Structure 1
């Protein structure tokens, strides 16, 4: 395999490669790319090559080049500065925006950190209560443990029975209509504004 060719193809196909990988694999690829810089062939470059063979589809040009055993790992193309190309590819990886899947995973991880109760879903209809992985965010309940009427009313608009994650995210993120996260207005003078903001969603 010609390592210089592989790196040249990596840079050319960087966007498509990133789109094929999940966040853990992207992080691993970036680390392997960094380790391969400044080495004269050897274990670091071989680990990078094995990663590409393992994680890319068989018909991908980078995968085909990495799986080609007819050339030598340390044989560079005269026109390719391997370290410079590795640096370019590492920078490309760092600059790539998160994928939709990564954004969803990040939002869900944040929402799982909300204080929550187990087994509270039965205290309201599915349209009234947000339940995330069997746990109901505690902000929906009063000190007496009962579902807050204002929350139930808003949740019927947000439809947590269809997408509980989106409903919980709406409650906990700054709202352009309200100027603050809706959850912060519960129990206060502006509690009635929360429903108006939820109803405004259907007018966008």
Structure 2
């Protein structure tokens, strides 16, 4: 299923999607559809990131919802026409549901989501530098999720590091690369720190409990539908 077909499916089940999501989740979905609809078709990486954002917003759906069941079947890679079709699909969907622009208060919802993520345990830049140097790294890897906190400076969610003083966890870096954390740190953090019906909890809390390949597969499925 390509992104355009997936967005058609979303449109078919829009009423039940609205019923299944709370106001914050619904407004976030509208915002991410808006981002996809406004993305330049020739910027393939941005289109991929925007498609991922829409899929992230749909993860809270019940596990047996038709759209939830289809999340892993969405395949971005392949034909050169896919980016254009994905953007066109988002524009068509927003017109079909008669909400061409995100609902009022979207900025407040986005800020609330970011505040929730910033409230999670995190490390500041000096601590991260020290941990990386202890692990034999000259500087923090670019795959590390770094959240911009206007009040406290850069914040690195602490689940990315081993133990009380360890360096970056290799599987986290691997997953972060798949999630495009260098260009979409908020989306990557949202994946790790939000409930995932298929994994059975927050991925960050399942580190060391689930096989690494299961985490990698779930992230890959979100981005490319390859699980």
Alignment TM-score, normalising by the size of structure 1 = 0.48
Alignment TM-score, normalising by the size of structure 2 = 0.43
Q: Flag the structure with more relative contact order, 1 or 2, with Cα contacts below 8 A and sequence separation at least 6.
A: 2
Higher Cα Rg, which structure: 1
